[in-house]
Amino acid sequence: MDKIIKNNSVKGHIVAPPSKSLTIRAVAASSLCLSESVIYNYSKCNDAIAAIDIIKEIGSTVNYNDNNLFIRGGIPSSDLVLNCRESAFCLRLFSIITSLYDKQIELIAENSLRNRKTENIEDILKFNGVKCKTNNSYPPIYIKGPIKGGKFILDCSQSSQILSGLLFTLPLAESDSTIEVTNLKSKPYIDMTLDIFFKFGIDIQNYNYELFKIKCGQNYKPADIKIEGDWSCSSNFLVAGAINGEIEIGNLNINSMQGDKVIIDLLSSIGVEVKQLDNSIKVLPYNLMPFNFDAGDCPDLVPILTVLGCFCDGESFISDVSRLAGKESSRAETIANELNSIGAKIKLEENCLRIEKTKLLGGRVNSHGDHRIAMALAIAGLSASEPLTIKNAECVSKSYPLFWEDFDNIVENSEF
């Protein structure tokens, strides 16, 4: 699907979509609880639906009522094939969770995820007595447990998702466990994981994110969880308001543990007027100053902040972007190349993006099937001098199924 974006300002009010990351975590925890839990306002994005389908295959009972899920966990009764679709988090998380079971479980992937490495899952699980095989570090992943628990040493320089998987799983293992962690990136995602555990009655001892101690023999207790709005997805419209309009986004929790809420601090620091209202954020544009941003904890912000840099006076810098090579696309390189093709002045220098203020032209760009690239390019197109056509625009459904509907509600003259 192509989407044509025309030069226009934005104005209006939208409601932030439910958090994908929190939905998947809540779904996973609910599947490990044998009593019924309730998830209110769950995300219906592709990745979240993949997680829901996976827990049903594993043995959970899932009932739906409007925007709510009622989940009673279960265990697999036979060997399984689990389709993680394009969700890297589901692949990593459930490959470790399913190591609890003595069944042969195969986790498969679709499209770009088939070409993404599984990191060191195979070595980690084999070291702990789990039978595990990958396709030379690529999906599919074959798992047969049960995981025993014990001592784990984990390098998290590329992803924190395997750590989250172990933290979900080890409270149910046969023996106590410790996880020694080095080079942890994206700490806010681990905070989100730990907060889910608190709600489900699981005790994890965290020693400065360098050592985690987990008692075995714990039980997940039923919980009622309301999923808050997604700061990662909302950042696109917040930047749109900062560049060329006025936007208010509801269902955003200013006290959220989501790391991407740092977007409002960054916008405030460069001159944007940011108003915190009751459960919403309002952004009004101003002359934008350049910025320096370390993306180590917030890699998902890189595409939209690269767009923002094109409209800030002088030069802006985004550092610690090397990990983005392992996403749906090589994100730092992809967003730089696509924006440069329509007039931007962006250089990728080792682990840093250098962005000069410039005028963007129209033309044709490609999302490369990456939802965050597609959303960022949409915001860029609103300030391009000529219409901008985005190829493969439908990929936004991976995290934000209603993105284009919300987009069209706050701008005019956009069309398919």
The residues annotated with a catalytic role in the active site are 300
Start-to-end CA distance of the chain, whole Å, equals 8
Are the CB atoms for 228 and 22 separated by under 8 Å?
A: yes
Whether omega for the bond prior to residue 222 falls within 30 degrees of 0, making it cis, is: no
Q: Which of 10, 414, 5, 7 is nearest to 248 (CA)?
A: 10
| Position 351, amino acid | N
Neighbours of 179 (CB within 10 A): 22
Q: Quote the CA–CA distance of 407 and 415 in Å, as a whole number.
A: 11
Q: Which of 386, 293, 407 is nearest to 11 (CA)?
A: 407
Where b means 16+ CB within 10 Å and e means fewer, 336-374 reads bbbbeebebebebeeebbbbbbbebebeebbbbbbbbbb
